[in-house]
Amino acid sequence: MRRAAILARIEAAAKAAGRTEGDVGLVAVSKQQPDTRIDAVLAAGQRVFGENRVQEAQVRWGARRAQFSDLVLRLIGPLQTNKAEDAVALFDAIDTLDRPKLAAALAGAMHKLGRRPDVLVQVNTGEEPQKGGVSPPEADALIHAARETYGLPVRGLMCIPPANEPPGPHFALLAKIAARNGLSQLSMGMSEDFETAIRFGATHVRVGSALFGPRG
Ligand SMILES: *Cc1c(COP(=O)(O)O)cnc(C)c1O
């Protein structure tokens, strides 16, 4: 089973970095994966999953939620303000806060629904125009506003480095922004680079294709 191999690699990378295995959680990125693969990973004991679209996640996890009470669902894709309420209703963590308007929408939805999923701020470390995330120079102000103005439970940061660059400097930048803001969680690293991310302090690695196989 691929999951056991991934967990072994996470453990080895954590140990090599002088960290303990329990410091790094595997987020199984289940977007666009067939049910059979998801059920197999659930049967192997995986409970933390990442999805990048609210509607797709509702369809995939609506019924399974009732079956697995210890499921943890994380939103790792861009969120529109008009979907904030649906996202707060379904997810246990929203990893892609990147603008004040969305912070306001999430705060309103949390108040209305009486649910407080964890929030991570996504930082666009490569300042790529097509990618979500707050730009690094604006990150401190957004983190501050999310906590103080909107009262959100901000736990950490998330990034997706540019595809064509070495990811290390991006992971280092994310870790630095988190440290100076007193944030402990770092969601970084995917199939191709999760071991590097662990070396730079990742607490959550988001692994899709290496765990499930190629997306359909
Ligand atoms: C799809 C996706 C992943 C997983 O990518 P793989 O390369 O398949 O591991 C991780 N993070 C985000 C934000 C994604 O959209």
Question: For residue 19, what pLDDT band results from cuts at 50, 70 and 90?
Answer: very high
Alpha helices in the chain (DSSP H): 2-16, 35-43, 54-67, 84-90, 100-113, 136-144, 168-180, 194-199, 209-212
The residue ranges of every structural domain in the chain are 2-211
Alpha carbon distance 127, 190 (integer Å) = 19
173-186 pLDDT tens trace: 999 999 999 999 99
Q: Which helix (H) or strand (E) holds 72?
A: strand 72-75
- Ligand 1 midpoint to CA 144 (Å): 27
pLDDT of residue 22: 84
Alpha carbon distance 188, 168 (integer Å) = 10
Alpha carbon distance 111, 120 (integer Å) = 18
Give CATH for domain 2-211.
3.20.20.10
One-character DSSP codes across 101-141:
HHHHHHHHHHHHHT---EEEEEB-TT--TTS-SB-HHHHHH
- Ligand 1 midpoint to CA 106 (Å): 23
110-156 pLDDT tens trace: 999 999 999 999 999 999 999 999 999 999 999 999 999 999 999 99
* Minimum CA distance residue for ligand 1 atom 12: 76
> Position 60: which residue type?
R
Alpha carbon distance 153, 18 (integer Å) = 29
CA distance readout (Å), 118 to 42, 53, 110: 22, 17, 11
76: pLDDT strictly greater than 90: yes
